[in-house]
Structure 1
Amino acid sequence: MKKHVNTPNGKPLIPTIKWGQALCLGAFALVMSGCSMTPPKTFNFQADVPENFTVTGTANYKPAPGETCIAPSGEAFTTGSLFFKPEQPKTAHQVEFKVPLTDDDHGCSMVLRGLKLTMEGQWGPRELDMGQETASFSVSDEPSEQTPVVQVFKGQCQWYFRTMGPYRYIVKIPNCRALNANGDMEKRMIGGRLHRDQLADSTVRLVLSVAKEEEPYFNRYWIKTAAGWKPCKGNWGRDIEELCVSPPQFKNFKMPDGRDCTVYPNCTK
């Protein structure tokens, strides 16, 4: 995990460091840096992710009540951040990292105000054959009614496909949303509110799934047949798929591996 603190001019307050490495080396460093021997309280974040998905996180901090954080330039700063990128999944489909509730390494006390996740899905063999979505968790100072050991949030990603460019290559776009108690996708983003008094030594868990079937990105630009989806040719004469007309006319397209196809995802008729 890399650590950053942002200042008003956008420059990091200190160099990037590796979480888990010794921040203070020896008694002299302890005195000079003011590092605390007591590690900050943390909560454990876990994400169960589908195949070809990864999750990274950015924890955002604000000055603690009554604190004013001053950069070496003399300017006050109000935002700090820690970036989490698990080096190795806990299992094949789970990532995990610990999120500190406070950050005291920069001359002032800062407290966690939120956690933003980036969910990245790889849909093709090339490095650029990927899409991203986000999830956000805010931290509330309101007292909670109970202190659960594990808080579970559920979400699902839907892949949408379309064609792009003069050769009409298939590309995919993810749309990730929260799931309700019935397992249905909602319109709201994945995430929610966390209570500060619940978080120490607890676990926040995200269970992410992928919809079984992909859908066209453009409504009424594709027609579903027994063999699969076929992109329409309309009245505009564009390179990509167009609004279907009656009777429908169809275009060929290319799969990411270069195959010429007429039906998606089966390719052939």
Structure 2
Amino acid sequence: MRNCLRRAHAWPALFGLVLSGCSALGSVGADTFTLEGELPTDFALRAQAHYGGSEDCSGRGHVETFKKEYDKAPHGYQFEIPVSYRNGLCELQLVRVGLFIYGRYGEKDWQQTYDNGELLIVPKTSIQEYANLPGRPDSINAVCSWLFQESKLNLEISKILNCRGVGARLIKEQLQEQAITLSFTVNPKEQPYRDNTWIEFPGGWKPCLPKEGWQQCQDPPVFKTFRNNDQECTIYPNCTE
């Protein structure tokens, strides 16, 4: 579940609470579930729970945000997410949880990016529909990969985060006081963001000059240097052969 639009964000602007048309708002008793798991080094997570009302309360909504920030070591997180909220006479139901996975690959402000996913909350509307839905997963395991490229803006190597398996469809009636485990691992092998723009050798990846009017390598390839970490390099990730 990948958003085709990927960009670095200013960290302080990431987290906020969005509230529309709500007053005297509060979660309903013990009607919550736990979202928990493990994050790799230099990863962070934001979960954004979206609530909506019935037809009589269609103008009411609520967004609740949960976050776990970066750490220099692998670290766990645990969010207690309400399944419903009371807003006056309206009971708002959880409809989805947006997931934003942030990765940091350097100390500079621009050396962080994100990918996203989603947990969809579906009701048990009928026995037949319920029978056709998968059961609540014991755990969800997402794998994140780093895709590298030459950054024209920063004149260095920049990276894009691609996380697969970040999502599930959950039955609302199975959630109350339950725990859903969502953990992340990092693929140790980085890949180029665009195919046929770098060529792999035993010692790493070499960038090549493109064909005229194209992004792909010439044939036969003509290799070039690139800059990374303020150095002139011939191969990635080791810089020199």
Report the TM range for the smaller structure's normalisation: 0.7 to 0.9
Within 2, Cα distance between the matches of 1:93 and 1:156? 16
Within 1, Cα distance between the matches of 2:176 and 2:43? 28
Matches within 5 A, 1:20-169: 33=24, 39-64=29-54, 67-68=56-57, 77-86=59-68, 92-105=74-87, 107-142=89-124, 151-165=138-152, 168-169=155-156
| Partner in structure 2 of residue 5 of structure 1 | 19
Matched residue type, 1:195: I
The 8 Å contact of residues 47 and 205 in structure 1, kept in 2 or not, is answered as yes
Within 1, Cα distance between the matches of 2:92 and 2:154? 52
| Partner in structure 2 of residue 200 of structure 1 | 176
Matched residue type, 1:218: R
Where has structure 1 moved over 6 Å in runs of 4 or more?
none
CA pair 150-138 structure 1, distance change in 2 beyond 3 A: closer
The 8 Å contact of residues 167 and 253 in structure 1, kept in 2 or not, is answered as no
| Partner in structure 2 of residue 20 of structure 1 | none
CA pair 35-62 structure 1, distance change in 2 beyond 3 A: closer
List gaps (5 residues or longer) in structure 1. Answer: 8-12, 15-32, 70-76, 179-189
CA pair 63-167 structure 1, distance change in 2 beyond 3 A: closer
List gaps (5 residues or longer) in structure 2. Answer: 1-14
Within 2, Cα distance between the matches of 1:262 and 1:106? 64
Within 1, Cα distance between the matches of 2:172 and 2:65? 20
**Deviations 1:240-261 (Å, cap 9, x if unpaired)?**
xx42122211111111x21211
Within 2, Cα distance between the matches of 1:165 and 1:133? 21
| Partner in structure 1 of residue 223 of structure 2 | 250
The 8 Å contact of residues 68 and 108 in structure 1, kept in 2 or not, is answered as yes
Within 2, Cα distance between the matches of 1:2 and 1:201? 25
| Partner in structure 1 of residue 7 of structure 2 | none
The 8 Å contact of residues 150 and 202 in structure 1, kept in 2 or not, is answered as no
Within 2, Cα distance between the matches of 1:35 and 1:250? 61
Matched residue type, 1:264: Y
Matched residue type, 2:160: I
| Partner in structure 2 of residue 74 of structure 1 | none
Within 2, Cα distance between the matches of 1:92 and 1:249? 40
Structure that is richer in strand per residue: 2
| TM-aligned CA deviation for residue 92 of structure 1 | 4.2
User: Partner of 2:173: helix, strand, or coil?
Assistant: helix
| TM-aligned CA deviation for residue 101 of structure 1 | 0.8
Of structures 1 and 2, the one with the larger relative CO (CA 8 A, separation 6+) is 2
User: Partner of 2:57: helix, strand, or coil?
Assistant: coil
| Partner in structure 2 of residue 28 of structure 1 | none
| TM-aligned CA deviation for residue 166 of structure 1 | 7.2
Within 2, Cα distance between the matches of 1:124 and 1:150? 34
CA RMSD, aligned part only? 3.0
The 8 Å contact of residues 47 and 55 in structure 1, kept in 2 or not, is answered as no
Q: Which has the larger radius of gyration?
A: 1
CA pair 167-119 structure 1, distance change in 2 beyond 3 A: closer
Paired positions, count:
221
User: Partner of 2:108: helix, strand, or coil?
Assistant: coil
